[in-house]
Amino acid sequence: MAHRIAVIGGDGIGPEVTAEALKVVRAAGVDIDTTDFDLGGARYLRDGEILSDGVLDQLRGFDCILLGAVGTPEVPPGVIERGLLLKMRFELDLYINQRPFIGTAPGGSVRHDFVVIRENTEGPYVGEGGVLRKGTVHEVATQGSVNTWMGAERACRYAFELAMTRRKHVTLVHKTNVLTFAGDLWQRAFDAVAAGYPEVTTAYNHVDAACIYFVQDPQRYDVIVTDNLFGDILTDLGGAVSGGVGLASSANLNPARTGPSMFEPVHGSAPDIVGTGKANPTAAILSAALMLDFLGENAAAERIRAACAEAVTGSTSEIGSQIAARVAG
Ligand code: IPM
Ligand code: MN
């Protein structure tokens, strides 16, 4: 049976890179049935729709969601991010953001291969807090970080399960020396999960130190687990030391499979290069490979990753076609 995929090309280069990803999936011989959803900043500017509950309910009926990028400079920051992307992550309970990194850090010589498991539904992203006395010198803004035992525990459990299929090492990244309440919860959840995985070795890094290791010694990592905001920042750095964000893929997963999972490149909509053919579709193609893994199409996913590992040059569609040709054999 065909896998039913909801496609949100989105804004800027999003539709361009998503088209290449679908080209490659079809070339791999995977049977997909796609439905386009016109959502993002451009749609919002046209008729005010961001992601209504009705559209969200339609999305629930699909096996997966493939997203290009959303956001446009004409819309104030936060509107599309919170109303579309974060709404999907929260409402569909996409509690794991899995971001793999393979490459050789600039100036380094040893290849690294690690995965960041970013908690995807909590932290400062939930919108806790508010503003008082706005526009005065006495203005106060608070933005709390929400951390639940369940949220930390399930992120850690996913990381340990993943590590069992890899090199059996998990690093917790946090800032336990300053964020003592949240850090303590995370450390205890991590330790409690670790006790069930005696074969997995563990480490802990403060997030500032982890930034140094990402640049100078990334091969020390296998699986990293961290909170939502640290994971956001670290995964841009992960992309920068692994060939650039043009290669960085991500999976927003609901591992309990109570709804569709969502797959998207780490990069944004890059409105400055839209229509120039300069966008590298590899991150979107590798995100589609993560989608195929989740759909059980592992052989096709492996073929796509192998095709992406070889050098490619050219425009957005030329790169997509080269990778598609390799995948088709
Ligand atoms: C990402 C993005 C999003 C995030 C933005 C667009 C809300 O940066 O997926 O990493 O912060 O999670
Ligand atoms: Mn980000």
On whether the CB atoms of residues 206 and 177 are closer than 8 A, the answer is: yes
- The secondary structure of 180-201 as a DSSP string is HHHHHHHHHHHHHHHTT-TT-E
Measured in angstroms, how far is the CA atom of residue 157 from the centroid of ligand 1?
Answer: 23
pLDDT of residue 108: 86
The arithmetic mean of pLDDT across residues 225-244, rounded, is 97
Q: What is the pLDDT of residues 242-270, one digit of tens each?
A: 999 889 999 999 999 999 999 999 999 99
Q: Has residue 101 got a pLDDT over 90?
A: yes
Q: Has residue 133 got a pLDDT over 90?
A: yes
The arithmetic mean of pLDDT across residues 22-35, rounded, is 98
124 lines ligand 1 (CB under 6 A): no
85 lines ligand 1 (CB under 6 A): yes
pLDDT of residue 1: 86
- Catalytic residue from among 57, 184, 208, 272: 208
- What's the count of helices (H) and strands (E) in the chain, helices before strands? 12, 12
**Which atom of ligand 1 sits closest to the CA of residue 70?**
6
When computed from its CA atoms, the radius of gyration of the chain, rounded to whole angstroms, is 20
Q: Has residue 107 got a pLDDT over 90?
A: no
pTM of the model: 0.97
